Structure 1
Amino acid sequence: MDPSAQSAPKPPRLAAPVAALIGVLAVAIALAAGHLVAGFVGPSASPFLAVGNTAIDLTPLQLKDFAVRTFGTYDKLVLLGGMGLVLLGAAVVAGLLSRRSPLPGSIMAGALGLLGVAAVLARPDSGQLSVLAPIASLVAGIAVFRWLHSRALVRRGDASPEGRRTFLVALGATAVGAGVAGVLGQVLGNRIDVEGSRSAIGEIKPTTPAAPIPAGADFANQGTPSFITPNADFYRVDTALSVPRLRAEDWKLRIHGMVDREMTLSYDDLRSRDLVERTITMTCVSNEVGGPYVSTSNFTGVLLRDVLMEAGVKSGADQLFGTSSDGWTAGSPVDVVMEAERGALLALGMNGEPLPVEHGFPVRMVVPGLYGYISATKWLVDLELTTFDAKQSYWIDRGWGRLGPIKTMSRIDSPKGLSRVRSSGKTTVSGVAWAQPTGIAKVEVRTDGGPWQDATLAADVGNSTWRMWKVELDLAAGGHTVECRATDKSGFVQPQARVAPIPDGATGWHSAFFTVEK
C-alpha cells in the first residue's frame, strides 16, 4: 500500500450543529423564494401551500374524518404545522448527511423541489406560469445550501475571528433574506384588495326580505345558540388552505353544458336582479351526533332556479356541477335545485352584509336541505349542467354519498356532558333540532332510559331552519344520562342506531351525562 495514500488527510467535516443549521436555512430560503414568486404568479403556486393542498386531496377518507373530528376547524392549521415539522426534520437530516460533502443535501433539496413542482402542476387552479414558483424554490434551495456549505468549510479552515465573522454574516444574511422574501411574497399575494371590494358593496338589501324572526325562536338564555348565527361564529369546513381572493368587480359566473343558452354573469348582473332573502340552516356532513357544524343565517341572493330557467336546462341533465375558483367542485341534483319551494340561491349576502371572504365572497351556492359538500360551493365561478355519470365532484370521487339529503337530527346543548349542575328545583335541559327542508314537529327527551316526554318547542321559523327546544326535568341529586330524539313533519323519527358521518351523514340519538347537585 502506498504510504502517502495511507497518510492522506480526510476531507474536512462540519460540526453537526453547523451542518443542521445550514440545512434548515436552505429549506427556509427555498420556501421563501417559492412564496415570493407565487406572489407574482398566483398564491396557489406557493410550493408549501400546493403540497398541503395535494396532501388534503390524497388523504384517505378515514384520516380526513379523524382530523375533522379531532381538530375541528383547526384541522388545516394542524396540517400546516405538521408539514412544517416534517420539513424541519428533513432539513436537519439533509444537513447532517452533508457534513463532508454538499451532495447528499443537494439531492434531498432537489427531491423536495421536484415534489413542489409536481404539486403545483397537479393543482386545478394553477396557471401556466405557476410552475415558476416551485422552480425558484428548487434553485434557491440548492444554491444557498451549497453556498453556505462552502462558506462553512472555508470558515473551518480559517479559525480567525474574521473567518467566524464572515460565516456568521452569511448565515444572518440568509435568515434575513428568507424572512424578507416570505413577507414580501405574502404582501404580494394579498395585493388583491378583496376587503376594499367587499366594503364598497355596502349593505345587501333584499327586494323580498325574509319574514322577521319571531319572539321566542330560541332559548338562548337557557343554553341554546341564538337563532341567527353571527357571521363570525358561522361554522366553516372546507378544503382551502388559503382563502381565494376575488374582487366583486372581477367576478364572472359561467353557466354552460346541457343548456339551451350559455350565460356569463357578472356581480352587477346578479345584484341588479330581484334579491330574495331566505332564513336557512346549513349543516356539514362531517357533523358527528351532537356536533357543532350547523349554523343559521339570513342569506340574500338570486333564486338559482330562475337563472337556470333562463339558460334552459336540457332534458337528461341530472347534475348541476359547481366549481370554485380554487378548483373545488360539488354536484347538486338538478331536480332538487329546480324545486320552486326549495329556494336554492346564488347568495351574495349573509345577515345583511356581503358574504364574508371565508364564506365565499363574492358569490356562493346555498341549497336548503342538502349537506354542504354537494350544494354549497363557495367562491363560485362555474356551473355546468351535466349528468352524474359524466362527471364526479370532489367528494363523490372520494366515495361520499351522491345525493346528500340532510338527516333528521337533534342535539343537547345544555347542560354540557360531564358538567355539574346546581339545582334547587327542576333542571332545564335545552338544545336544537333540524330536518331541512321538512321541518321539526316534535322533540322528545328521556332520562336514564325511562319514558319519553315531549319537550317544549320554540317558535317555528320555517322548514329549512333549525328549531330550539327545552324541557324541565325533576332530577334527584347525582348523575343522570339524558337522551333526545326528533320527529320531522313527515312523521319520521330520528333513528337510534349510530352511523358515522361519512359517507352521507351521521345518525343516532345524542346523549349527555351530567351530575345534579342539590
Structure 2
Amino acid sequence: MDREKYVRAAISGVAATGVGLAVGELVAAAISPFASPYRAVGAFLVDHSPAWAREFAIERFGTADKTALLVGMAIGILLITVAAGVLQARRPPLGALVVACFGAVGVVAAMTRPTAHLTYAIPSVVAGVVAVIVLVVLCRGGRSATTEGDETGKPEWSRRKFVGVVGLLVVAAGAAAVVARQVAEAGGVLRERARLRLPTAASPSPAIPNGTDVAIPGVTPFQTTNAAFYRIDTALQVPQLSTDDWQLHVHGMVDEELTLTWDDLMDIPAVERIITLTCVSNEVGGDLAGNARWLGYPMRDILSRAGIRPDADMLLSTSVDGWTSGTPLSAVTDGRDALLVVGMNGEPLPLEHGYPVRQVVPGLYGFVSACKWVIDWEITRFDRASAYWTKRGWGEQAPIKTASRIDRPAPLSTSPPGPVVVAGTAWAQHRGIRAVEVRVDDGPWQKATLATQYSTDTWRQWHWTWDATPGQHTLYCRATDATGAVQPERRVAPIPDGATGWHSRVLRIG
C-alpha cells in the first residue's frame, strides 16, 4: 500500500469507530446511562483493575482520576482503530472483526453492571454493527479500481469524495453525540433536583460561633462549598437516580426486613449537622477533606425499626452502581451523628455527591462509611462479608487518624524577615483537636493558637506568628487530639487505612 492508502485506511478505522460509539451513546441515552458502551467499558476497567493501579491513579491524578482514565481509553481506542483500518484494507475482514470485538466488549461490560437489564446490550450491539458497516464501506472506497490486490491502480473513490464522506460521517457522529448528551442532561433527575424542596430540620445544626473561622488569607475556610468539596469514588459515570425510583432495602441479620421510600424518609424528623469528611487516600498535607452542613436522618433510628440481632457487627451498604462499604455497626449506633443524608449546605445533594441519598458517618474514612447513591443495607458480620475496598486489601474499620496541615505560607514561597503568620487546619473527627504545635527547622515546638472548636466532628483551624530570620527554613506542624494522643512523626502511606506523619513546608526568608 502506498502512503495515501495507509492514511485512508487509518482514517477509515477511526471514523468508523467514532460513528459507532456516537450512535451507541445516542441509543444508550434512550435506555440508561449505565448502558453507554464507552463508559460501561471504563467502569468495567475500574472495577477489575488491581488495587495498586487504582491507588496509583488517585495518588497521581487525585480528583481527576476518572478524566485520566477516559483520556487513556480514548488514546488506546484511537491506536487500535488505526490498526483495524489498516488491517481491513490489507486483509479483510480482519479489521472488521477487530471493530466487532469492541462491540462485544461493550456488551460484556454493560451486562455486568449492577443494574443491568437485557436492554443494556443494545447500545453496544448497535455501535458494533454501525462501526463494522462504516469501516467496510470506507475501505471498499479506498480499494484499487482495477483488480483486487493491485496496489498500483487508483482508489475507487477520489480523494475529494473520500474526504467528503468522512466529513459527513464526522458531522453525523458529532450531532449524535451532542443529542445524546442533551438527552442525558435533560433527564428528569436534573430537573427534579432543581425544583426539589428540602424538609426543614427538626434539629438544626448549632450556629457557628465567632472565632471558629480565623479568616486569615490562605487558610482553608471552615465550611467547604459544594463546588470545592472533594470527590473520590469509583463511579465513572455519575448515577442519576430519582426520588421516585429511590428505595432503601434493609435486610440481613434483622428481626424484620424494611424497604424505605423517599416519602418514608420525609416522614422522619430531619437532623442538620456540620461534619468533616476525609478520604483515606489523603496524603499528609493533602486536600481530600471537606467540611459541610448535612441534612439527613439518624441511621440508628432507621436500623432500630428493623431490629438488629445481637451478634451483628457490620453494616454493608451498596450503591446503585454496585460499590459497597462496610461500616462498624458500633459507629452507627453509639450516639454519634451518623446520617442518611439528603441535603448539603442548604441544597439537595449534588448528583456527584450522592443525590438523592447518601451516608455520612463522623470519625471514619469514607471508604468504610460514606456510601453515595445508597440503596441497600445488609446487616451482617465482618467475618461473613467484605466490602469493595476491603476485598482489595484495605482496612476494615478505618477510624480517621489525627492530622494537621499548613495552609500558609505557600510552599517554596519567599517572605521578608519579621513576623510571618503560619496557619492551617487540623482534624481528628469524633475525638476533636486539643492542641497544634509548630516547629521551625530543628527548634523547639511552639504552641499555636487554636480557633474555637465547633464540635469534635469538625476540623479546627489554628495560627502562630513566627519572628522569621533570613535564610531557608522548614516549618513542621503536629496536632494532639482530645484523648492526648500526639500525631506521629513517621510517614505512613494512605493505603490501607490512612496516612500519618508531620506536614512540612520549605520557604525562604529574605
Give the percent of matched residue pairs that are identical in Structure 1 and Structure 2: 46
- Code of the residue aligned with 2:493 in structure 1: it is A
Partner of 1:140: 130
Distance 1:162 1:140 in 2: 21
2:167 aligned residue = 172
User: Is the contact made by 1:204 and 1:353 (CA closer than 8 Å) also made in structure 2?
Assistant: no
Query: Which of 272, 278, 291 is 2:267 aligned to?
Result: 272
Displacement, 1:285? 0.2
The correspondence of residues 71-82 of structure 1 with structure 2, limited to 5 A, is 71-82=61-72
Q: Provide TM-score, normalisation by structure 2.
A: 0.95
C-alpha contact (below 8 Å) 1:478/1:516 kept by paired residues: yes
When structure 1 is superposed on structure 2, of 361-370 and 472-481 the one drifting more is 472-481
In the TM superposition, what whole-angstrom CA distance separates every residue of 1:451-486 from its partner, at most 9, and x where no partner exists? 111110000100011011111111201211011111
Q: For 1:121-136, what aligned pairs fall within 5 Å after superposition?
A: 121-136=111-126
1:390 corresponds to 2:384: yes
Question: Retained in 1: the 8 A contact 2:253–2:378?
Answer: yes
Tell me the SS of whatever aligns to 2:227.
helix
TM-score (norm 1): 0.93
User: 2-side partners of 1:124 and 1:363: how far apart?
Assistant: 18
Match in the other structure for 1:411: 405
Hey, what's the Cα distance between the residues in 1 that align with 2:154 and 2:141? 12
Give distance in 1, aligned partners of 2:159 and 2:406: 65
The equivalent of 1:438 in structure 2 is 431
Give yes or no for the alignment of 1:251 onto 2:246. yes
1:336 maps onto 2:326 in alignment: no
Distance 1:475 1:204, change over 3 A: farther
Q: CA deviation at 1:161?
A: 11
Match of 1:320 in 2: 315
Q: Quick check: 2:143–2:155 contact (8 Å CA) kept in 1?
A: no
Counterpart for residue 514 of structure 1:
507
Aligned with residue 88 of structure 2, among 91, 98, 107: 98
**Correspondent of 1:119 among 109, 114, 117:** 109
**Secondary structure in structure 2 of the residue aligned to 1:306:** helix
Does structure 1 residue 354 correspond to structure 2 residue 348? yes
**What is the rounded CA distance, in whole Å, between the counterparts of 1:148 and 1:375 in structure 2?**
52
How many Å apart are 1:12 and its aligned residue? 10
- What is the count of residue pairs matched by the alignment? 505
Paired residue type of 1:73: T
**Structure 2 gaps, min length 5:** 148-152
Q: Hey, what's the Cα distance between the residues in 2 that align with 1:152 and 1:136?
A: 25
Cα separation, 2, equivalents of 1:204 and 1:400: 37
| 2:89 aligned counterpart, secondary structure | coil
Contact residue 144 and residue 155 of structure 2 kept, 8 A? no
Whether contact under 8 Å (1:324, 1:377) holds in the other structure is yes
Return the offset for 1:221.
1.9
Is the contact made by 1:289 and 1:508 (CA closer than 8 Å) also made in structure 2?
yes
2:487 aligns to what?
494
**How far off is 1:151 after superposition?**
2.2
The residue matched to 2:143 in structure 1 has which SS?
helix
Using the TM superposition, give the Cα deviation of residue 490 of structure 1 relative to its aligned residue in structure 2, in angstroms: 0.6
Q: For residue 190 of structure 1, report the CA deviation from its aligned partner.
A: 3.4
Q: Answer yes or no: is the 8 Å Cα contact 1:102–1:149 preserved in 2.
A: no
How much does 1:429 deviate? 0.5
Question: Which residue number corresponds to residue 288 of structure 1?
Answer: 283
Q: Is the 8 A contact 1:447 1:480 kept in 2?
A: yes
**Structure 1 vs Structure 2 CA RMSD:** 2.0
Q: What is the Cα deviation at residue 173 of structure 1?
A: 3.0
- Over 3 Å counting, the alpha-carbon distance change for 1:106 and 1:458 in structure 2 is same
Is 1:211 paired with 2:212?
Answer: no
In structure 1, C-alpha distance between the alignment counterparts of 2:154 and 2:434, rounded to whole Å: 83
Distance 1:16 1:156, change over 3 A: farther
Secondary structure of 1:249's match? coil
Contact in 2 for aligned 1:46/1:133 (Cα 8 Å): yes
CA distance in 1, matches of 2:501, 2:146: 67
Matched, 1:261 2:256: yes
SS in 1 for 2:330: helix
For the Cα contact (< 8 Å) 1:192–1:246, is it kept in 2? no
Alpha-carbon distance between aligned partners in 1 of 2:159 and 2:331, rounded to the nearest angstrom: 72
Whole-Å Cα distance in 1 between the matches of residues 218 and 509 of structure 2? 16
Q: 1:88: Cα distance to partner?
A: 0.7
1:56-83 CA-partner distances (Å, limit 9, x unpaired)? 1222222222222221111111110111
Cα distance in 2 between the residues matched to 1:483 and 1:277:
36
Equivalent of 1:228 in 223, 231, 235: 223
